[in-house]
Structure 1
Amino acid sequence: MSDQSPSRVPALSRGVRMREDKTRGGWVLLAPERVFKLDDIGRAVLTYTDGVRSEAEIIDLLAAKYSADRTQIASDVAQFFDGLSQRRVLEFH
């Protein structure tokens, strides 16, 4: 289980960048010696992940933008962030 907190501030780890992959179509996370293909939802979440906004702020923005249930978004975002953190492409401040 992760140390989930609405006040944690996610940021891409040093050397990790989100880029459009025009060759394959879509978006990817480029990390040293690794590439992670993003789906539309992953891209939407990472669009707001700037190292300044808290996880709670990101969830609020997504819930408002997509008129979706905040509780479900919170669960999905926490799981997504935790997975990226375990792969060492995302860290929390």
Structure 2
Amino acid sequence: MNAIAPTPAIAEADRLRLAPGVMLRNDRRRGQWMLMAPERLLVLDEMALAVVRACVGTGGDADADVAAGIDRLTTEYDAPRAEVAADVLEMLTDLRNKGYVVS
């Protein structure tokens, strides 16, 4: 039986962008932000949206690394950097594993 190698976690030095075919969209009618991909949709809560905006290149900000996004979120929410980093890296790894972001 072939074992599937675990995917490495996202690191602070990584530069992320939305995966091909994935779009960040606002459904104004429902008041929800979402990541839309072919045949799938992920509704983002307020914190997930903040992480995507801070850490994932969606256009002109594609040169920002994850560490810069973590620093921005730490300042914006006045939270301990270690806690913010742990939560953000876990969420971004999950989004990458689900095919919404790529490095």
User: How high is the TM-score relative to the length of structure 2?
Assistant: 0.82
Q: Identity across aligned pairs (percent)?
A: 30
Report deviation, 1:52: 1.5
The aligned counterpart of 1:68 is 79
User: Relative to structure 1, is the Cα distance of residues 21 and 7 closer, same or farther in structure 2, using a 3 angstrom cutoff?
Assistant: same
Report deviation, 1:58: 0.6
User: What is the one-letter code of the residue matched to 1:18?
Assistant: L
RMSD of aligned alpha carbons: 1.3
The aligned counterpart of 1:6 is 12
Q: Return structure 1 stretches of 4+ with deviation > 3 angstroms.
A: none
Q: Does 1:53 align with 2:64?
A: yes
The aligned counterpart of 2:93 is 82
1:23-74 per-residue CA deviation (whole Å, 9 max, x = no partner) reads 3221110111111000000111111221311111110010011111110110
* Count of residues in correspondence between the two structures: 92
The aligned counterpart of 2:44 is 38
Which secondary structure does the structure 2 equivalent of 1:18 belong to? strand
User: How high is the TM-score relative to the length of structure 1?
Assistant: 0.90
* Aligned counterparts of 1:62 and 1:15: Cα–Cα separation in 2: 26
Which secondary structure does the structure 1 equivalent of 2:34 belong to? strand
Bigger mean CA offset, 14-23 vs 2-11: 2-11
Which secondary structure does the structure 2 equivalent of 1:47 belong to? helix
Which secondary structure does the structure 2 equivalent of 1:24 belong to? coil
Q: Mind listing any 5+ residue stretches in structure 1 that lack a counterpart?
A: none
Q: Mind listing any 5+ residue stretches in structure 2 that lack a counterpart?
A: 1-5
